[in-house]
Each structure stands twice: as C-alpha cells, then as structure tokens.
Amino acid sequence: MEWEQLDLNPRIIAAVKKVNFRSAKEILCVSGPDLQRLTRLSKTDVQRLLCAVAAAVRKSKPVTALQLIRGECPVLEAGHRLSFACPVLDGLMRGGLPLRGITELAGESSAGKTQFCLQLCLSVQYPQENGGLNSGAVYICTEDSFPIKRLRQLITQQPQLRPDLPPALIRSRHFCDNIYIEHAADLEALRACVSQRVPVLLKRGLVRLLVVDSVAALFRSEFQADEAVQRSRHLLAFSNTLHRLSHEYGAPVVCVNQVTDVVDGPNPGRCDYGLVDSKVLPALGIAWANQVMVRLMLRRLAGQVQSDRRSSAPRKLEVVFAPHLPRASCLCGVWEEGVRGIPDDHSDLQPQGSS
C-alpha cells in the first residue's frame, strides 16, 4: 500500500511506516486505542488516519436508488437479466436470472435441472436485446458426463424454441464454441477449476454464465455425517469464490442442488423455508442456503401435458425465495426444443397429483 498517496500529514505517514503496516487491511483491523499505542499518535491523528485509509479502501461512494433504477450505475444494477428463452419462465422470474448472485436450482433426479442449465447456456449467447449476455458459458459437471448429444439436439431445434428471433441471428451463433465444459471429479479439482481457470475465461469476456452441475454431489460424498463443520468450511470457501466472481464480472452463477428426504415431521433444528407439504428439501443445509440469493425448486408431477400433439411429463418450477420475487410457481414441460413454461390458461393437463 502506497502510504504517500493518502491525504495525510507527513508526520502521520512516517509513524505508520515506522510500525511497518503493510496494507490498509492491517490498519483497519486494529482498534483505535491500539493504533494510538503502536504509532504514538494522538487520538485525532489516529481518527484522520483511519478515515484516510477507509476512503482509500472504499471502492465507490454511496449512490441513490434513483440512480440505480435509471441505470446510471451499471456496476451495481445492470438493469437487465439473463432470459430463460421462454416468456412464461421469464415472467415467473420477472425478466430472468439476476446477473449478480448465486441462483440455485434444486430438485430430484430426472426433474429436468440439467435441461434448464443447457437452455441457459444457449440463451446467454444471444445479444443483450434478445435476453442474452453476448458471451459464452462454463459448465462444470461433477456427476455425470456432459450431455453433448442433447446439447446438439437443442442447438438444431433453436429456431423452434425462439420463433421470435430472426433465423439469420440463430445461424450466426457458434453455440458449441462458446460452451466450456469442465469435469471435476473431486473437491480439489472443483476448487482449482473455479479459482484458476474460470476467472481467466471471465476476465477475457469469453464467458458470462457459470453452471455447476451439481454442487451437492461432491460435498455430500467427500464428507461423513459427523464432519459437518469441515464440510461447512469448504462449502463457504467455495461459495465465497463463486460470489466474488459473480459480482466482479456480472456473471450469473447457477448451482444445481440435490434434495434430501424429510423423514421426520417438522424439526425445530432444521429450516424448511415454509415448504410444509414437501417430502424433500434442498440438500446441504442452512450453511449453503445462506449463500444462495435465489432458490428455485423443480418437481416432476404425475400426468401428462400436451403441446402440438407431443406430450411430456409436467414439471413445477417454484420460487422458494428471492429478494425480488413472490412465492410463485409455474408449470413447464420438457420438449425436443427445450424447456417451455405452460401459461395458466392453457390447462391441457389431465388430473395429476403432486409428487
């Protein structure tokens, strides 16, 4: 830290250098009286020093919410979201995924979580005015291998999914070139990927979406039931890295999560987020839930839903919590061209029960 750059009396700067402080963090973490004792400066001098160091650490001055909503601070509030490529799903999410923060998609196996993620990897590559971010995606697989055949099928079917876009625009995208696939077999590989390789891609602007499919697999398998504290620590470090990357580069992070069964009744030691009727809850406990900004749950329902004489098992996408969304849900189906939400008035559904 260059102490000369601070707007301070040279006497104070000399005292700071004599004590061998190396960074602003060291000064801010010492209390006022301790600083007085170490530097032998008076109370007012120490106050001035702390204010000058704090002003140097502060990245930007306070802005008003009016400036944010007018789009004058794109770093804090981008003003647009990452679209799901379906108007019904975008309506549920009030525009799509927020650009900063971790969005979690939890559900049982074969609920359709990977389908959502693949669709987002394609949607991100369109220009901003079409709901994308004009950039690629990183897809980190921890469970199964990447479903490349399904991705190819989705790419060929893009014109069916996005009839609102001109075909020339769709043809001009080199979808496969912009999706970077990583396989992480253990926690160490995952950590290395997220802290070394992903930042390089983000910095170069090659990607602006990060998908982790799934976050639960490695954390549940590598820790025993009684190692909850260590698991928490690794989980927090991992989510902190994701959080930092997401905020620095304005890249949405989507984490797929598994679910655990609820075997006993309501338990005061476990938070169920108001999901009373559910027999499953997202995995990884409250330590992970505290890091997530938007939590979505995907449930596969019984019955069938029709569209153009094709049928699919219906899914229910529910917003469990989000700072800007009410508790709402919508039905969707998984078709050849991707996931599409079913508007409320379109009840082609046959009677079904919830899972």
Comparison of 36 and 153: residue with beta carbon closer to another protein: 36
Residue 313 near residue 300 (C-beta atoms within 8 A)? yes
User: Least Å distance between CB 248 and another protein?
Assistant: 8
How do beta strands 179-183 and 136-141 pair?
A: parallel
Task: Report in angstroms how near the CB of residue 8 gets to another protein at its nearest.
Answer: 11
CA 319 to chain centre: 14
Contacts for 127 with CB less than 8 Å, ≥ 6 apart: 134, 169
Q: What's 240-300 look like in SS3?
A: HHHHHHHHHHCCCEEEEECEEECCCCCCCCCCCCCCCCCCEEECCHHHHHCCCCEEEEEEE
Q: Least distance to another protein from the beta carbon of 339, Å?
A: 24
Least CB distance from residue 56 to another protein, whole Å? 8
Of 156 and 267, CB closest to another protein: 267
Give the containing element (helix H, strand E) for 50: helix 43-57
Output 53 or 118, the one with its CB closest to another protein: 53
Instruction: Provide the token pair at 41.
Output: 């400066």
Which lies closer to another protein via its Cβ, residue 282 or residue 341? Answer: 282
CA 147, CA 134: separation in Å to the nearest integer?
23
Nearer to another protein, 54 or 200 (CB): 54
Question: Cα(3)–Cα(11) distance, rounded to whole angstroms?
Answer: 12
Measured from the CB atom, the residue of 62 and 353 that comes closer to another protein is: 62
Using the minimum distance from each CB to another protein, give the nearer residue, 28 or 169: 28
Beta-bridge partner residues of 103:
254, 294
Q: Write out the residues near another protein by the rule CB under 8 A.
A: 9, 11, 24-25, 28-29, 31, 40-42, 44-45, 50-51, 53-55, 57-66, 68-69, 76-77, 94, 98, 100-101, 233, 236-237, 239-240, 243-244, 246-247, 266-274, 276, 285-287, 289-290, 292-293, 295, 320-321, 323-324, 326
Contact 112/315 with Cβ under 8 angstroms? yes
Taking the complex as a whole, the smallest distance from the CB of residue 77 to another protein amounts, in Å, to: 6
Residues 6+ apart with CB under 8 A from 237: 191
Those residues with Cβ within 8 angstroms of residue 134's Cβ, 6 or more apart along the chain or in another chain = 125, 126, 127, 128, 208
Length of the chain in terms of residues written: 355
Cβ proximity of 132 and 82 under 8 Å = yes
> By C-beta, is 29 or 168 nearer to another protein?
29
141 burial via Cβ count (<10 Å: 0-12, 13-18, 19+):
buried
Beta carbon of residue 311, minimum distance to another protein (angstroms, whole number): 33
Least separation in angstroms between CB 257 and another protein: 13
In the complex, minimum distance from the CB of residue 240 to another protein, in angstroms, rounded to a whole number = 5
Closest CB to another protein among 40 and 310? 40
Minimum CB separation of residue 290 from another protein in Å reads 5
Q: Nearer Cβ to another protein, position 233 or 310? A: 233
The Cα 101–Cα 278 span in angstroms is 26
Min dist CB 180 to another protein, Å, is 24
